């Protein structure tokens, strides 16, 4: 499976192959005026075709502070990206009342996505906040029809005011208006069947809670292809070049284990099975 990332270096856009490691040198390829999504479509995701004719640059470890990672396929204008997702999709959350199509929600535009290390903001009047370790599907609107086309997947943290939702299920839309963490790494293959990892929450330098998670298509109550086809049939979501980031739901979280999040908590999601780690502090807004 081809794995790649996009970044800016000295104010120019580049892409690289593999999972970038903190503190290590980077080998990257200049995009120039091209869009990475277009290159992927033209090359079929083959690494040799992606890099053909593109000069390679090695960024030494000492210059990594001049590199800024970018969420997978993020367009130049954040208004051309939509962040959304499904709720209550996993087998562990299904019961007799589970509907045929899961609830869908919008988290925001492209600026709702935060990379590792960046604060994840939640409303100042949040009732009870939780992390949600998830697979994130990435789609791009086709140039002629605008219909979203699957390109690959990333991993993310769908921070949620679960307390607001539990208090009133009709307030799902408000509960989801928190930032979302996302890895800068795009995996070009189909969504993974099984993802395992561990959540660690630190408070003032000490571990406040830790626990495992399992996600992936095998953990879903729903057939992913069916629910995505139902969602993406709506023409309101069809726009050429628009990038869609769709969070497909989570396993149980720290909330279900009785942990209560607080301002400044650092949440680290280690997607161990796929070598991806997301660590972000939580930041409460003003009341």
Q: Is the pLDDT of residue 79 over 90?
A: yes
Q: Which of 87, 86, 160, 156 is nearest to 123 (CA)?
A: 160
**Distance between CA 236 and CA 232 in Å, rounded?**
9
**pLDDT, position 1:** 83
The owner of tokens 């299904």 is 94
Q: Is the pLDDT of residue 287 over 70?
A: no
- Paired sense of beta strands 148-158 and 195-203, if any: unpaired
**Distance between CA 40 and CA 268 in Å, rounded?**
30
Kindly list the domain boundaries of the chain, sorted by start residue: 3-68, 78-284
List pLDDT tens digits, range 171-204: 999 999 999 999 999 999 999 999 999 999 999 9
DSSP three-state, residue 200: strand
**Distance between CA 88 and CA 249 in Å, rounded?**
6
How far are the Cα atoms of 27, 50, 106, 203 from residue 42, in angstroms, in the given order? 22, 8, 30, 46
Q: Is the pLDDT of residue 55 over 90?
A: no
The rounded radius of gyration (Å) of the Cα atoms in the chain is 19
Domain 78-284, architecture per CATH: Alpha-Beta Complex (3.90)
**Distance between CA 87 and CA 221 in Å, rounded?**
11
**Distance between CA 152 and CA 2 in Å, rounded?**
10
- Paired sense of beta strands 276-284 and 120-122, if any: parallel
**Distance between CA 282 and CA 287 in Å, rounded?**
15
For 38-58, the DSSP string reads HHHHHHTT-HHHHHTT--EEE
Q: In the predicted model, what is the mean pLDDT of residues 41-51?
A: 91
Q: What is the mean pLDDT of the chain?
A: 95
List pLDDT tens digits, range 93-150: 998 889 999 999 999 999 999 999 999 999 999 999 999 999 999 999 999 999 999 9
Q: Which residues contact 100 (CB under 8 A, 6 or more apart)?
A: none
> Chain-centre distance of CA 263, in angstroms?
22
Confidence of residue 258 (pLDDT cuts 50, 70, 90): very high
pTM as predicted: 0.96
List pLDDT tens digits, range 20-42: 998 899 999 999 889 999 999 99
Confidence of residue 56 (pLDDT cuts 50, 70, 90): very high
Contact call for residues 114 and 181 (beta carbons, < 8 A): yes
The owner of tokens 């000492």 is 62
Cα distance from N-terminal residue to C-terminal residue, the chain = 45
**pLDDT, position 23:** 87
Q: Which of 146, 181, 171, 167 is nearest to 255 (CA)?
A: 167
Contact call for residues 219 and 166 (beta carbons, < 8 A): no
Phi, psi for 235 (deg, rounded to 5) = -70, -20
């Amino acid at each position: 499976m081809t794995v790649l990332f996009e970044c800016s270096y000295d104010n120019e856009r580049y892409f690289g192959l593999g999972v970038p490691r903190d503190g290590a040198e980077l080998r990257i390829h200049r995009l120039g005026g091209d869009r990475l999504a277009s290159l992927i479509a033209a090359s079929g995701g083959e690494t040799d075709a992606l890099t053909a004719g593109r000069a390679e640059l090695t960024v030494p470890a000492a210059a990594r502070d001049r590199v800024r990672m970018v969420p997978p396929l993020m367009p130049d204008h954040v208004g051309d990206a939509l962040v959304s997702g499904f709720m209550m999709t996993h087998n562990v959350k299904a019961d007799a009342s589970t509907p045929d199509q899961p609830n869908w929600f919008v988290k925001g535009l492209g600026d709702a996505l935060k990379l590792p290390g960046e604060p994840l903001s939640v409303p100042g009047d949040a009732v009870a906040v939780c992390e949600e370790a998830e697979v994130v599907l990435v789609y791009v609107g086709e140039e002629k029809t605008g219909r979203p086309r699957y390109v690959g997947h990333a991993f993310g943290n769908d921070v949620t005011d679960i307390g607001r939702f539990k208090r009133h299920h009709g307030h799902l839309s408000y509960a989801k208006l928190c930032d979302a963490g996302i890895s800068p790494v795009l995996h070009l293959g189909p969504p993974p069947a099984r993802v395992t990892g561990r959540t660690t929450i630190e408070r003032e330098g000490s571990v406040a809670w830790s626990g495992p998670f399992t996600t992936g298509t095998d953990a879903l109550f729903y057939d992913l292809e069916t629910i995505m086809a139902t969602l993406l049939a709506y023409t309101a979501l069809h726009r050429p070049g628009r990038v869609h980031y769709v969070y497909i739901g989570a396993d149980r979280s720290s909330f279900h284990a009785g942990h209560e999040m607080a301002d400044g908590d650092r949440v680290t999601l280690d997607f161990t099975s796929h070598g991806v780690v997301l660590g972000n502090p939580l930041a409460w807004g003003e009341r």
